[in-house]
Amino acid sequence: MNIDKGPDVTAQAHGVGEPWWKGAAIYQIYPRSFMDFNGDGIGDLPGITARLNHVARLGMDAIWISPFFTSPQLDFGYDVSDYCDVDPIFGTLDDFDKLVARAHELGLRVLIDQIYSHTSDQHPWFRESRASRDNPKADWYVWADPKPDGSPPSNWQSVFGGPAWRWDARRQQYYLHNFLSSQPQLNGHNPAVQDALLDVTRFWLDRGVDGFRLDALNFFMHDPQLRDNPPATTPGKRSRPYDFQRRIHNQSHPDIPLFLERIRSVTDEYGAVFTVAEVGGRESIGEMKAFTSGDRRLNSAYGFDFLYAGELTPDLVCAAAGKWPGEPGEGWPSWAFENHDAPRALSRWCGAEHREELARLKIALLTALRGNIILYQGEELGLTQVDIPFEQLRDPEAIANWPLTLSRDGARTPMPWCRDTADAGFGAVDPWLPVGDENKARAVDAQEADPASLLAFTRAMLAQRRMQPVLLYGAAKCHAEGALLRIDRIWEGKTITCMFNTSAAPLTLPPPHQVNGTVLASVNGGGREVLPPFGALMVAA
C-alpha cells in the first residue's frame, strides 16, 4: 500500500461554509459489544468513554451510539421503557454526561438513536393506554377492534414474523406491533404523542447531544383505515410472512414528513444538530427523498443499498449513488456497508482468500462516496461474521426465523481489543456473545504495531478524505464497466478520479480510464494502467 496522508485537518478547516456534518465520517458504536468496563459481560457507557481515543485516532468526526435507554432488553434496547434515562446495565445519566464531555474534548460529535415508532410494553405510556379505552393515553398507541370473526383488523405482518396485531384482554382490542409483540406501535398521528417525543428530543439536546439517528422512521404512522396490504410482486428472498407483502398501509404514511418538520424546528433551536433517518424497504428511496427535501426536514437519510447486498459490484454502487444526483432541494445521503442489523460485509462479498484485499478496497470505496460515511465498530479491523450456534443466539429475529436468519448476532460480537486474552480485552471472561477466534486475531493491539495493517490503512484513507474538500463536498459521476468502477468527484474546478477493480482478476484499464495527475492513493498495488485483484487508484487532476 502506498498512500499520501497529508496533514490531519478537519472538514471545518477548509473554510467553505458547510455545516460540520456534511461529508462527515461517523463511527457506529453498539454499546453492548464495544467495551465492558464493569466486568459483567455487557459493554457499557464508561467502557465507551474509556475507548474514545481509538475512535478519535481513526479520524472520525462523530460517534453514533445505538440505544442505551432503560429497556427490558427483549430487542436489546430498541424496546424503550424510559426515553430519558440510561438502563442500569449501561450505566447512569452521569456516565452519559461524562461520555459526551470526553467526546467533545476529543473533537467528536455525539449522535444517539431515537426510536419514535414504538416503545416497550413496559413503558408507562403503554401501561396506562392498555388500562382502559377512555384514559388520557388511550389513543397514544394503535388500538383496533377485531373483525366480526375475532381475527385481527388487517393482514399486516410484523418484521420478526407472524401477524402485526396482538390481542389484549384488558381493552378487548388488538394493538399494533410492527416488530416484537412487546414493542407496541405508537400512534404517530396523535399530536400529544408527537409533543411527548419532541420533549424527549429536547431532553437529550439539553445534555449536549449533537444529533440523532431516527430508527425505523417510515413506521411512524399507519393507515388509519387499516386497509390490507397487497401481496408483493417483485422477486426476492422471502423467509418471513412480512416479505410477502407490499407494506404500503402499515408504514410510509404521507403525513410523516410533517412531523419531521416539527423535529427540525426543535433541532434548529440548538444550532448545528444533525439528523439522519433510517429507512428500509423495497420502496425506500421515495421516502428518503421526502424525509430530507428542502431545509425544513431532516438533514440526511440512509437505506439498505449495501447492507444486505450479496456482492459488491460496480452496477450496485452506481445505482445507489445515482439515486442522489445532487439536485436543488435534495437531501444529503449517508452510506453504510455494515451495521448491527446486517451480516458483516466481508463475509457477504468474498471468500476468505481475498478478504484482506477486499477489506482495503471497501474502505477506499467508502471514503470516495459522496455523502456522509458510517463505519461500524470493528470494520476498521476487517471483522467478519461470527457463526453463532443456535443455543448461543440472543437475537429474537434470528431465533424466530432459524435457520433462514439474518444472523444479527454474528455482527454484534464483542470488539476485540487484545489478541492474547480470553475475552479479547473486552472486559469479561464470558462476554454476552462469543468474540470469535478469527476476529480475535484481528484485535486492535495486533494491528497497532503493524504499519501495513487495515487499521493503519483506514486511518490513512480517512485522513485523505478529511483533507480533500472534493471528497467531502464534491459532485459525483459514477461509471460501471464490467468489474471496473469509476467515480469522479468534482468540486470547484478540481477532480479526483477513483477507480476500483471489484474482481479477483487483474484488470487492464482502457485508455480513456488511464488518467494523469497526482496519485493520492494506490490500493493493493493499483496503477495507472493495471488494477490488480481488488486494486484501486485515486488520482487528483
Do 213 and 252 contact (CB within 8 A), yes or no? Answer: no
Nearest to 258 by CA among 339, 194, 206: 194
**pLDDT by residue (tens digit) across 425-460?**
999 889 999 999 999 999 999 999 899 999 999 999
**pLDDT by residue (tens digit) across 306-352?**
999 999 999 999 999 999 999 999 999 999 999 999 999 999 999 99
Residue-level length of the chain: 541
Buried b (16+ CB within 10 A) or exposed e, 29-52: bbbbbbbbbeeebbbbbbbbbbbb
**CA separation, residue 68 to residues 37, 46, 59, 220, 432 (Å):** 15, 12, 24, 21, 16
Do 470 and 493 contact (CB within 8 A), yes or no? Answer: no
Cell of 174: 388488538
Nearest to 60 by CA among 420, 517, 366: 366
Of the listed ranges 2-6, 221-225, 371-375, 494-498, the one predicted with least confidence: 2-6
- How remote is the C-alpha of 79 from its chain's centroid? 17
Residue 252 has pLDDT above 60, yes or no: yes
Q: Which of 199, 269, 295, 387 is catalytic?
A: 269
Q: Which 3 state secondary structure label does DSSP give 279?
A: coil
pLDDT of residue 66: 98
Task: Band the pLDDT of 11: cuts 50, 70, 90.
Answer: very low
Residue with cell 399486516: 156
Residue 494 has pLDDT above 50, yes or no: yes
Q: Is the peptide bond before 328 cis (omega within 30 degrees of 0)?
A: no
pLDDT of residue 400: 81
Q: Which helix (H) or strand (E) holds 113?
A: strand 109-114
**CA separation, residue 88 to residues 75, 133, 413 (Å):** 16, 33, 21
**pLDDT by residue (tens digit) across 371-383?**
999 999 999 999 9
Q: d(Cα 173, Cα 331) in Å, to the nearest integer?
A: 40
**pLDDT by residue (tens digit) across 57-91?**
999 999 999 999 999 999 999 999 999 999 999 99
Q: d(Cα 258, Cα 106) in Å, to the nearest integer?
A: 36
Q: Which helix (H) or strand (E) holds 498?
A: strand 494-501
Q: Which of 215, 287, 305, 380 is catalytic?
A: 215
**pLDDT by residue (tens digit) across 366-418?**
999 999 999 999 999 999 999 999 999 998 888 887 887 667 999 999 999 99
pTM of the model: 0.95
Do 212 and 275 contact (CB within 8 A), yes or no? Answer: yes
**CA separation, residue 167 to residues 76, 156, 175 (Å):** 24, 14, 7
pLDDT of residue 166: 98
To the query of whether residue 215 is one of the catalytic residues in this protein, the response is yes
pLDDT of residue 476: 98
> Domains plus CATH for the chain?
2-121+188-466 (3.20.20.80), 475-540 (2.60.40.1180)
Nearest to 301 by CA among 271, 283, 324: 324
Nearest to 257 by CA among 277, 237, 274, 241: 277
Q: Which helix (H) or strand (E) holds 300?
A: strand 300-302
Q: Which 3 state secondary structure label does DSSP give 541?
A: coil
Q: d(Cα 249, Cα 226) in Å, to the nearest integer?
A: 7
Cell of 536: 484501486
Do 31 and 44 contact (CB within 8 A), yes or no? Answer: yes
Q: d(Cα 184, Cα 1) in Å, to the nearest integer?
A: 51
Residue 2 has pLDDT above 80, yes or no: no
pLDDT of residue 276: 98
**Residue 135, Cβ neighbours under 10 Å: how many?**
12
Q: Rounded to the nearest 5 degrees, what angle is found at the Cα of 37, between the Cα atoms of 36 and 40?
A: 60
